[in-house]
């Protein structure tokens, strides 16, 4: 069973939907593989004018799948690094889409879920949604999403929430430059449609070249930054804190540092 769905309407609007609602759309290895492939396929499809990133269920994305994370403790260093690269590769594929990417954030986004929000050109969230970089509670670090999050938020805003694992609401996410704006849940689809419609009157090639120019002028996320983040997380996985934090989560107890 596919863990994402891709649908395209007659206008050329493609909607990529995270479809693992029973697991709060946590990013498993299989789900990340499917999401990366979908992004690469859409990037090559000249009939696609706009891409919407959405999710089923009450949660937009709870971040990396913890069972997948825990399995990394039993891997050798190189295999662990390869697994760690998965989410960075997914984010890179979405970030590199030539089409505008609009995030439909219908629920909470944590960890890697905030990474997905960060690569959207526009992200609209529902009032009441909660967001946060919760990795440090587990003895981990928000490394692989870091280059994209910092590009979106800027270092000053990121410093308010990137280290503390503090969960914040959608209105604060607007102030932090993660969400473009918030709406009531029953107004979300109308708001997304309002973002889509102007692009359909524009020349698609001009839109793609404008997005590329904007990336170049503002400074792109570089392969060196991505590699630095992957190496940092691979080192962190070897720490006693990471083992204790992940074990405490599964044991439903407080970690030793609390």
Q: Is residue 9 part of a domain?
A: yes
Sequence-distant (≥ 6) Cβ neighbours of residue 228 within 8 angstroms: none
Domain count across the chain: 1
The pLDDT score that the predictor gives to residue 252 is 92
Q: Is residue 162 part of a domain?
A: yes
The pLDDT score that the predictor gives to residue 222 is 94
Q: Is residue 194 part of a domain?
A: no
The pLDDT score that the predictor gives to residue 183 is 98
The strand pairing partners of 64, in sequence order, are 27
In order along the chain (258 residues), what is the average pLDDT of each group of 10 residues? 94 98 95 96 97 98 86 76 86 97 98 97 97 95 95 96 97 97 98 98 98 95 94 89 91 93
CA distance 36 to 50: 17
Determine the longest span between alpha carbons in the chain, in angstroms.
57
Please tell me the pTM assigned to this model: 0.95
What's the length of the chain? 258
Q: Is residue 109 part of a domain?
A: yes
The answer to whether residues 126 and 170 touch, using CB atoms and an 8 Å cutoff, is yes
Q: Is residue 203 part of a domain?
A: no
DSSP string for 47-103: T--EEEEEESSSEEE--B-HHHHHHGGGS-HHHHHHHHHHHHHHHHHHHT-SS-EEE
Token pair in block for residue 32: 């990340």
Helix (H, G, I), strand (E, B) or coil at 179: coil
Q: Is residue 246 part of a domain?
A: no
Q: Is residue 77 part of a domain?
A: yes
Containing domain of residue 10, as a range?
4-186
Q: Residue 151 is inside which H or E element, if any?
A: helix 146-153
The pLDDT score that the predictor gives to residue 71 is 77
CA distance 96 to 112: 17
Residue 36, domain CATH: 3.90.226.10
Q: Is residue 42 part of a domain?
A: yes
């Amino acid at each position: 069973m596919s863990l994402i769905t891709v649908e395209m309407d007659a206008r050329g609007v493609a909607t990529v939907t995270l479809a693992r609602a029973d697991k709060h759309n946590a990013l498993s290895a299989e789900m990340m593989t499917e999401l990366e492939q979908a992004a690469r396929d859409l990037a090559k499809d000249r009939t696609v004018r706009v891409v919407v990133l959405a999710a089923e269920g009450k949660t937009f994305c709870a971040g990396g799948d913890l069972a997948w994370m825990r399995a990394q403790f039993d891997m050798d260093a190189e295999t662990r690094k390869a697994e760690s690269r998965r989410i960075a590769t997914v984010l890179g594929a979405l970030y590199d889409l030539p089409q505008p990417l609009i995030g439909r954030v219908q629920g909470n986004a944590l960890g890697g879920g905030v990474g997905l929000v960060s690569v959207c050109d526009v992200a609209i969230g529902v009032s009441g949604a909660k967001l946060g970089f919760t990795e440090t509670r587990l003895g981990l670090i928000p490394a692989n999403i870091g280059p994209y999050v910092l590009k979106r938020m800027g270092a000053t805003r990121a410093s308010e929430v990137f280290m503390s694992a503090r969960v914040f609401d959608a209105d604060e996410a607007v102030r932090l430059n993660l969400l473009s704006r918030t709406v009531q849940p029953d107004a979300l689809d109308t708001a997304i449609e309002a973002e889509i419609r102007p692009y359909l009157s524009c020349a698609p090639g001009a839109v793609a070249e404008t997005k590329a120019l904007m990336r170049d002028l503002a400074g792109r996320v570089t392969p060196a930054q991505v590699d630095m983040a992957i190496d940092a997380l691979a080192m962190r996985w070897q720490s006693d804190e990471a083992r204790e934090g992940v074990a405490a989560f599964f044991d439903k107890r407080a970690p030793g540092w609390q």
